Structure 1
Amino acid sequence: MRGLVTFEGGEGAGKTSQIRRLAQRLTEQGETVVLTREPGGSVGAELIRELILGGTGQFDPLAEALLFAAARADHVRKKIKPAIESGSIVLCDRFYDSTKAYQGAGSTVPAGVIAQLTQIAAGDSRPDITFILDIDPKIGIARAGRRNLASSVSADRFEIEGLEFHKRVREGFLAIAAAEPDRCVVIDASRDVDDVASQIWLALEAAKPRFMRNAPQIRLDPKTDALVDDFAQAMKAKLLASQVKYGCSDDWLVDDWEGECQAELANHVQKGDPRDVANYAAFCWGRGWRASPAA
């Protein structure tokens, strides 16, 4: 499993706690997990983080958006993309949706400008799934205040903003979720932390098939093309024969296949190029998803 999972939401929504919980659970299942945050995540981006969050609103909203974009560009290229390419699942505490909500909906930067900055900074790096932890700003700000008091830290640049600002930010996040329902999952962050963690896990499980598009593809040496073609054709024929013999629907694979692997491989067998079958079967095998021999 490789890809980018982002967590968004207002102040005091509990993003950091939920990211740690999810990271632990994924690690226990054998996944390689990389935790990161925005602004920050790389050496250069962390310097920009201190510059932005350590102040008291000394920057114009557009200047802030530009600084966030600069931090994001460094972060994406130096940490997020290399981690995903190495086979990791990246859990990121805030990403470009926060810029849309805070500098856009919460402030005065036009949506078109933010869209341009997002394209420049993030490029083709897009979250596979985004969890928006939704909470009433009054409750969230109170939570953040208690957290800061317990940790003996001062409120950051955005935590000191007024309630109306945070209401606009919340509306901004919900608007993003409404516009992109396939990517965004809204979670009621006022609920018990265990309930929130459970909802996140269930949503991630349901979204697993989309992470398959990040699977590495087999790179072929031209000299071995003919051999690979023969192997792929033989594999496809064998899988089709098994489907005919043991069933004609997607349940032709035995139960110990992962559900999404079963459906996707069946789809490749029916419609895909033989090499797609070979690539995907090899990927599933590498993940430990085996088909037991039929009796």
Structure 2
Amino acid sequence: MKKGFFVTLEGSDGCGKSTQSALLVKKLKKMGFDVVHTREPGGTKVAESVRKILLDSKSKISPLTELLLYEACRAQLTAEIILPAIESGKVVICDRYADATVAYQGFGRELDKKIIFKLNDIATSKLKPNLTIFLELDVKKGLARTCLRGKDRLERESFVFHKKVNYGYKWLAKQFPNRIKAVKADGTIEEIANKIFDIVVKKLWN
């Protein structure tokens, strides 16, 4: 594999993205791949500072402000970390990316999805992941998991909000079936990790 490869992990809150992305990175490194692991919002000094504001349960942020802050984080992460890594032939694994904004702000907040797609293109310089893993989990199960670790600002949103987000992800998976692959996230951690790994490796060597 000479050129870089970009994988994102998506899903509603509590689906296990962080756990699974870390396991995927570990497996790929064992295979000898040069891997960069990052996340949204965050991944850079600037974006990590904004992340604290976005996820602080005490922050009062309007939907539009929230959208623009996420896009600002994405623009910085893409320019500073993701694009340089891909251009140098590395595999980039990212917890959430542009799809998350469509699901959370487009479906959850009901902001204009056409505008969100345009902003995503601007923030990412039209970069699209080679592969997106959508960890599909029942909303109630996901929210129950978040209760165990303490909820951030978005996790504290209503059940209806999270249902809309989950629907948004399913909608995206139907719109982009070649890129987005759904993986049921209600098995054991190891079972889910193996499914993800198989999908990623097949795509890497295609």
After superposition, the CA RMSD in angstroms is 1.2
Residues 203-235 of structure 1, C-alpha deviation per residue, up to 9 Å, x if partnerless? 1122124xxxxxxxxxxxxxxxxxxxxxxxxxx
Deviations 1:165-209 (A, max 9, x none): 111100000000000000000011011111111111111122124
Q: What does the per-residue CA deviation read over 1:2-50, in whole Å, with 9 as the maximum and x for residues that have no partner?
A: 2110000011101111111111111011101111000011111111111
Does 2:122 align with 1:125? no
1:50 corresponding residue in structure 2: 52
Matches within 5 A, 1:231-242: none
Is 1:64 aligned to 2:66, yes or no? yes
- Preserved CA contact (<8 Å) 1:61 1:108: no
The normalised TM-score by structure 2 is 0.95
In the aligned structure 2, how far is the partner of 1:37 from the partner of 1:208? 20
Counterpart for residue 251 of structure 1: none
Structure 1, unpaired ranges of 5+: 149-153, 210-259, 261-295
Structure ID, larger Rg: 1
Residue 161 of structure 1 corresponds to which residue in structure 2?
A: 157
The count of residues paired between Structure 1 and Structure 2 equals: 204
Aligned-residue offset at 1:55: 3.8
Structure 2 unpaired stretches of 5+:
none
Aligned AA for 1:22? L
Letter in 1 for 2:108: G
The ranges of structure 1 where at least 4 consecutive aligned residues each deviate by more than 4 angstroms after the TM superposition are none
Q: CA deviation at 1:56?
A: 4.2
Q: Which residue of 1 aligns with 2:195?
A: 199
1:95 aligns with 2:101: no
Query: What's 1:208 paired with?
Result: 204
Q: How far off is 1:83 after superposition?
A: 1.2
Question: Which residue does the alignment assign to 1:29?
Answer: 31
1:181 aligns with 2:177: yes
Corresponding residue to 2:186 among 163, 183, 190? 190
More off after superposition, 168-177 vs 43-52 = 43-52
Tell me the CA shift for residue 79 of structure 1: 0.6
Which residue is 1:110 aligned to? 112
Shift of 1:108: 2.1
User: Residue 269 of structure 1 corresponds to which residue in structure 2?
Assistant: none
Return the letter of the residue paired with 1:104: G
Shift of 1:158: 0.8
AA at the equivalent of 1:173: Y
Q: Secondary structure at the match of 1:207?
A: helix
User: Which residue number corresponds to residue 243 of structure 1?
Assistant: none
- The answer (yes or no) to whether the contact 1:83–1:90 under 8 Å persists in 2 is yes
How far apart, in 2, do the equivalents of 1:175 and 1:91 lie? Answer: 22
